[in-house]
Each structure stands twice: as structure tokens, then as C-alpha cells.
Structure 1
Amino acid sequence: MLADAARGYLDEAAPVAKLRALRDAGEAHDPALWAEMAQMGWTGVLVPEEAGGSDMGHAAACVLAEEMGKTLAPTPFLSTAVIAATALRQVASARAKAALAKIAEGTVTYALAIDEGSKFDPEAIDLVAEKDGNGFRLSGQKRFVVDGGFADRLLVLARTEGGVTLFDIPADATGVTRSAKPMIDSRDAAEITFDKVEATGEDVLGTVDDAMAVLKPALEAGQAALAAELTGLAAGAFGRTVGYLKERKQFGTLIGTFQALQHRAADLWCECEVTSSAILHAGRMLDTDPENAALAVSVAKARAMDTASLAVREGVQMHGGIGMTDEFDMGFYMRRARVGAEWLGDYGYHAGVVAGLRGF
């Protein structure tokens, strides 16, 4: 029921044409669309009911993300409603609860500032948070901060004296410099420089030197939801491709009657179905056994990347010449698939996680 409701809304309010229009206007975010999603309760899908959310769980969040992937809806759903909300709910402070309430209301957006190198690696950070009286001073740079160009707040991972610490700071704090870097999929990312940015003890999310206690569940939630978005993307590309096979004629014959193309379409459908099962399993594991969800999440993310890549390649090839043109929407799916393959860990990263958890 949630998927059906989401699909009906997104087809009308956030088709691929919406993303194209935002790209042509030089915009990466539609606040009005985000406000409507908040009214429907989507921004609070992982927010506890006492903070104004619906608390439907990770499986539901994955359902929404998958439907958004089908139309490439340009929203900060993953960074705000999934990653930030999951991190904040690990903390019992009044400030965290207030932040969760704002997420549910749709009045605040977050971005996750972790990456500093060319690949996702939460442990390989150089941004330093030096002690300064009762607080800290953050200095360093973060790259590939998705939604970082317009986010209201930043979750920043920094190295402290005894480990790594997660900070929740305003994106417009003194000393923060944001350089917007539109990605190939027309969404927003940013490079952010921190020049002795002041942070108090209250800005620490969780415990000093122990960021992963808060960040690990948030990352896994984000990886599962991103995998769901990629699976939706594959389904959206597949649907467009099958529709084209049913209407395009070559020498007076529908190309969908060609057995070779039928076999390729059937193979892609099977891959999408298996990956959808992996996504559902990851969401259920996060809801029922979050301490042991890492394997299911990495399997889902690795499979989703592989399936999305196959779907867009097949889509471009089976559409022939028009599949390569900007006027045709398949290129948007291909570019989003490429960005999704890098964010929060590429195929090699998640294959390594799976291998490690299986004892190899």
C-alpha cells in the first residue's frame, strides 16, 4: 500500500522531467517537493512517534527510496530522513529529539560529511577536532558531501585525541566554506572546508572518541536505502525499455518480438527481482536485528549497484541511437546509477565487507 501510494504521488509530482527542469535551471533541490513529502509523513519515516514521526521502520524507508529511484526524485531523503534521523535517534538527549522533530516537520535538512579521499573510507580521515577549553575547533576538508551545498546542518566526522567523534553543526557556522559541486546526475554535492570551526560539547553526537557507535547504524541505514533507490532506478529503466520494445518497429516488425531482445529483457527482470528480495531482507534485518545487519546491507548494496548498471546499459543499447541523446531520459538513469555506485561504498568496498563477514 505504501509503495502504491508513493508511486502515484511521485509519478505526478516528481517525474524525471522535474529533475531535468531543475538541472536546466541550475538547481539541485526543490523545497516545495520536500515540504509535500513532509506533509505525507515521509520525512519522519524513521523518527519516533513521540518526536512527531511515523516510525515505520527501515523496511518502509527502503520502500519509499525504491519508489523515488524509479522517477529519480531529487530530494535529500537519504541524507536527512534516513542517515541523519538514524544517527540522531541513537542519542537520548533533548537536543537530538528536537532535531528529529524538525526532520519530521521537514524544516531542516542534513548532509553527511565523511569522505576526504577518492573512495568511501570512514576510518581514513584527517579532519581534526582539537580541544579548545570545554569545546573543540574543527579544521580540515571534506569531499563528496551529498546535499552539502544546500543542507541546513552537517554531520561531521572528525579525529579527536582518542579516536573519531561525530559532530552536529550548522552548515553556516563561522569558518565553514562550502563549494557546491554539481554531480553528473544533476544533484548536489559539495567540498567543505573547516577553518577552526567552533564546536561545543553539546555539538557532539554520541560520545567523544566513539563516533561509530552512532555512525555505524546510520551508515548501514543509508546504504540499505541507497540500494533500494538503485533498485528502483533499475526498475524504472527496465520499464521504459520494455515499453520501447513494445512500440518500436524495425522493417515493419515490433522489435519486442525479437527473441534475442526478449531473452535480454527476461534476464534483466530476473536480476531486478532477486535484488528486490535482497533489499527487503536488508530492511527487515535493520528493523529486527540491527547489530547483525551488516552482511545483508552490503549484499543489497553490491547487488543493487550491479543490477542498476546492467539495467541502464541494456536500456541505452536497446533504445538504439536515441538512448545516447540528452533529450531522452535514459541518460539520467545512467548518471544516477554511476553516482549511487560510489556513494557510501562502491562494489569493491561492499564485496570486501561480505568476504570479511563470511570469514574469507
Structure 2
Amino acid sequence: MSADGLTLLVGTTKGAFLVSGGRDRSGWSISGPYCDGWPVNHMVGDPETGRIWAGGGGDWSGASVWTSEDHGQRWSRVRLTRGQMDDWAANEPEIAQMIGWTPEPPPFGDSFSQVWSLCYAHGKLHVGVKPAGLLVSEDGGASFARVEGLDRHPSADSWNPGAAGLVLHTIVPHPENPETYWIGISAPGESDLLYQQNHHGVWRSADGGRSWDNRTEGLPSTFGFPIRVHPRDAQTIWTLPLNGDSAGRYPPDAAAAVWRSRDGGLSWEALREGLPQQNCYFTVLRQAMAGDAQEPAGIYFGTNTGSVFASLDEGDSWQEIARHLPTVLCVEVLERG
């Protein structure tokens, strides 16, 4: 698979996949699964070098970060924590030999179970983990250290878990200041302008998160996960509402629609062309929507039923470019050349 053009980085419950559309975003091809078939919660890439990172794991395996320098042909893995399989392999030499297990302790013991989010910016790779914590690598993912300022924050004891537990699910770098990051929200490239979609609607902050305005009016539901911001127009955003926290978590009326605002959430329009309009019960998770920087901007999302949809006209129409994958946990875009 060529490393040039546009590639979707798709993390699933059964490993990582690369979905490539080349320079013209067509003829989509799929490769994978990678990362030993482990659950991959998030992936990111560096457009300058083409390096790809994937993070995941779980209670059984412990947490790991994988790196590929050659567009997925080969992967190296850094184990961060131990899992239940370590106890099993330690007591069963035949099993240890079969899976290639070695007794060297991972650097963070059993202090967390999963990598949940990744962010590469300003030459650093940040890693969000479960239970909520933050790591940083300054050598491209070869080694990691804790960001102690977050772990020791006075408010840590009051953090409340969601349905997936206490996870650090989003890392947003400031586009200009390499020392500033936001945790747990989504943002465009405009300084201090932030958006978030959560269990209580869509919200907008114009002051770096110090205050928030509700921008839910006009949407069919207050509940959902993903939100995406236009690469050049910070007033244009896309989200995919679901029918409710305890009502099934699928599109309202079982008819899929991505909703777009051109005025920062003051008004909304439903975009349905090419999306299933009957018996649609999929869920789109928090990290499973992404966008490219082309003209017009492309928008992509993956579902828990294993489909990936693409719009090459800023949401006006959609096409299914992958199907029958495992549950999609994340979609990110890598653009090169």
C-alpha cells in the first residue's frame, strides 16, 4: 500500500486497519489487521514522516503502544503495563514459550490497563490511559514518562467515570503554544475556540474552556459522542447525534444523519444522502469521526457494526468505503504528499 495520499487509520476491537484512498480519495483499499489483533482504541500519524502510532490493550493483555515506520508493513511494540496474561504465562512455561512471553516487568507495572487516546503535536507523543492519566514520549514512542501535573491535580479525587470507566479519552494540543493542552474535549485549529459533544448536548467555548455556551438547539437529541471541526472554517462543525444514553444509543428514528452547522452551532442541518434511512441501529463512538484538510473537506466516520462512511463534499453526500470490519473504535486521517 502506498504511503502517499490519504489514509484512514482505523482502530477496532480486533486490531488496526489502514484504509487508503490515494491522492484522489477513491479506489479505497484495506490492509490489516495489525497490532496482533489486540483492541486498538486510538491511532495517530505524523504527516511529515509517515510514522503511525496505535494504542490499546486491556485487562487481559495490559496496555501497549505500537509504532510503524513503513505504513503498516512492520510494527514495533512498547509494553507499558502488565495484564492477566502475565500471571498465566509466569506459571505456565509452555504458554510463555508459545506466546513469546518474557518476565521483564513493563515500566508502569499494573497501574493502568488501557491506552485510550493518542496525540502527536509539537514533536511529542501524548498518551491518555485508563484509569485517567497522561504519559508523554519525546523520542517518537520508544519510551514514556508520566505527566505528573495531571496525576497530582487537586481535583483528581472528584473525577467521575463514564460508561467506559475513568478514561482520559481526548487530548487536544494548542495550535500555537506547545505547552498548552486541553484534556477531554474537541477543538479546531483556531486558538481558544473549543467544541464538545457529550451526554448533554453540543457546547462551544470561545475562551479556551473557561466558559461554555449550549449549542444543542436544532439537533434531534442531546446525546452523542463525536464532533468534528472544519480545517479552515472554525464555525463549520459536524456531529452525529444518537437517540439517548439509555434508549439504545443509535440514530434517532433508526435513520442515520450527520448534522452540520455553518455558524458555530447556532443552526443545524441534517445530511442523509447515502446513509441508511431504515433499520439503522449502529453507534458511532467518540473517536470514530475524523476529517481531512482537502478542498472540499472530507469527513469520515466508523460504526460499531464495522462500516466506515466517507463524504468528499463536506457532508452533502456519503458512501460506504469499508464494511464488515470489527467494531470501529477510532478513525483518524493521515495525509501525505
TM-score category by the smaller chain?
under 0.3
Rg: which structure is higher?
1
Structure with the higher fraction of residues in strand conformation:
2
Taking structure 1 as the reference length, the TM-score comes to 0.27
Taking structure 2 as the reference length, the TM-score comes to 0.28
Structure with the higher fraction of residues in helix conformation:
1
